[in-house]
């Protein structure tokens, strides 16, 4: 018995470039940037003073009853907005699933640091390092006393899952993974696998995260991963450019609805595209460094292509490379961009130079656990519209990076098959293959 075909019937995102699919897509194709000075806390003394924040967001615009989610943290609020868009586009509000026990969730959701981070930031002025442990203890006690008990649980990374389950009456398989920057790609891949083995009919999958707070920015500054660019923040994220200097923190959520083709057809839903391959691997190398030759990243891509039945070295029937677009992880750090380039060459050989690949992180920043899901959605839209988004700020070519990174301007071309890549701290690598749907 062959595995069921798995289709995407709904997409939604909440991003630094906006809160709707078409508006954000237009801005990405126009190479607009969502980066600006940080407003969540006073970052003027930090090495990095800018980020890509979600602005003017109101979760009540998207949910049935905002009171139900009154304690929701930002990560849960972003997830609710993105998933509600996807649910409605899939038509599940009009033709509900046959059995809520066959509706599942798989998220790559980051920790929801809320009151602790906020109160640490608001009480920093009270900290007296000269006074020592006594003042430190009092400061900590005061911060804890100000925390809202009802919101404490929202710091757990599975809380977005709980909010979505209640909103959509999803009573089937429910999972959350937290594999750093690869989390939402892994979540979509695992949801795809659950549907293929027959454990659900519908899966809502994707990611949500915010780390634009005092603790998050401090941590990535200490890791020297963030850009410390001193000019216009919109110029700070420079993936694949010789003068790249780190990533820009973003936040938000991307969610998709996956269904078996049989279930979608029975509802009269319109498939947007088909997921045909998923690959996952670990570098088994250093915690914060990618394996230098891109060994693990290549294994993930090769596994996804093998499951999709695609030979990475064979042209398609039109004489094109076997895939027409790669949504790159493309963080803008020196190591990541070089190693991802090596991995793509390792997989596709001489055809690698003919495959356009770009990084939307150059425009909306790095959404950490949610990065992969918003980048997957760009693949769905690239297939739909026959156009791929650019890599912004790529003005100084790196002689060691010699692939086609779609610099600065969107490009029209027929797109039938895409690969979406994401790699995370700890050596996690995940790749997805998505194809134009044909009946």
User: Tens digits of per-residue pLDDT, 218-238?
Assistant: 999 998 999 999 999 999 999
Is 72:33 a contact under the CB 8 Å cutoff? no
Query: For residue 112, what are the CA distances in angstroms to 71, 218, 375?
Result: 12, 16, 22
Half-sphere exposure of 66 (CA within 13 A, CB side): 9
Average model confidence (pLDDT) across the chain: 91
First-last CA distance in the chain: 19
pLDDT of residue 208: 97
pLDDT of residue 127: 41
126 pLDDT more than 90: no
Task: Show the domains of the chain with their CATH numbers.
Answer: 6-112+156-435 (3.40.47.10), 118-150 (no CATH)
Question: Active site includes 329?
Answer: yes
DSSP 59: G
Catalytic residue among 209, 213, 329, 379: 329
Q: ∠ at Cα 409 (404, 413), nearest 5°?
A: 65
Q: How far apart are CA 49 and CA 227, in angstroms?
A: 10
Residues 28-86 pLDDT 10s: 999 999 999 999 889 999 999 999 999 999 999 999 999 999 888 899 999 999 999 99
What is the reported pTM?
0.93
Radius of gyration (Cα) for the chain, nearest Å?
21
Q: Which residues pair with 255 in a beta bridge?
A: 12, 206
Q: Which two tokens stand for residue 180?
A: 């750093």
Question: Active site includes 282?
Answer: no
φ and ψ at residue 135, rounded to 5 degrees:
-65, -35
Catalytic residue among 163, 209, 366, 379: 366
Q: Which residues pair with 278 in a beta bridge?
A: 432
Lookup result for tokens 């009946």 = 439
pLDDT of residue 323: 97
């Amino acid at each position: 018995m062959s595995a069921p075909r798995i289709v995407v019937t709904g997409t939604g995102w909440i991003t630094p470039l906006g809160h709707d699919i078409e508006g954000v897509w237009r801005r990405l194709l126009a190479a607009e940037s969502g980066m600006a000075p940080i407003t969540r806390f006073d970052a003027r003394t930090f090495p990095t003073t800018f980020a890509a924040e979600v602005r003017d967001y109101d979760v009540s615009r998207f949910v049935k009853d905002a009171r139900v989610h009154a304690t929701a943290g930002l990560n849960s609020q972003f997830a609710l907005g993105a998933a509600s868009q996807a649910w409605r586009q899939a038509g599940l509000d009009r033709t509900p699933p046959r059995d809520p026990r066959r509706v599942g969730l798989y998220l790559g959701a980051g920790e929801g640091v809320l009151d602790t981070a906020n109160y640490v930031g608001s009480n920093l002025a009270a900290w007296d390092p000269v006074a020592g442990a006594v003042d430190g203890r009092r400061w900590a006690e005061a911060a804890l006393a100000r925390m809202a008990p009802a919101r404490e649980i929202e710091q757990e990374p599975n809380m977005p899952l709980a909010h979505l389950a209640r909103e959509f009456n999803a009573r089937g398989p429910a999972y959350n993974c937290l594999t750093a920057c690869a989390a939402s790609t892994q979540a979509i891949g695992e949801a795809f696998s659950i549907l293929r083995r027959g454990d659900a009919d519908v899966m809502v999958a994707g990611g949500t995260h915010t780390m634009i707070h005092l603790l998050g920015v401090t941590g990535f500054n200490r890791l020297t991963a963030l850009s410390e660019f001193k000019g216009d923040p919109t110029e700070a994220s420079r993936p694949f450019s010789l003068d790249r200097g780190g990533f820009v923190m973003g936040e938000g959520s991307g969610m998709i609805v996956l269904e078996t083709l049989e279930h979608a057809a029975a509802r009269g839903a319109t498939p947007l595209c088909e997921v045909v391959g998923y690959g996952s691997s670990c570098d088994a190398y250093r915690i914060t460094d990618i394996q230098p030759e891109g060994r693990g990243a290549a294994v993930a891509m090769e596994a996804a292509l093998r499951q999709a039945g695609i030979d990475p070295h064979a042209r398609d029937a039109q004489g094109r490379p076997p895939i027409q677009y790669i949504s790159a992880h493309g963080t803008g750090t020196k190591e990541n961009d070089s190693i991802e380039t090596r991995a793509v060459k390792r997989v596709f050989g001489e055809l690698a130079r003919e495959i356009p690949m770009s990084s939307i992180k150059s425009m909306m920043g790095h959404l950490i656990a949610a990065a992969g899901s918003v980048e997957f959605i760009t693949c769905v839209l690239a297939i739909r519209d026959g156009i791929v988004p650019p890599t912004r700020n790529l003005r100084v070519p790196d002689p060691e990076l010699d692939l086609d990174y779609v610099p600065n301007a969107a490009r029209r071309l027929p797109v039938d098959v895409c690969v979406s890549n994401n790699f995370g701290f700890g050596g996690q690598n995940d790749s997805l293959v998505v194809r134009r749907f044909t009946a």
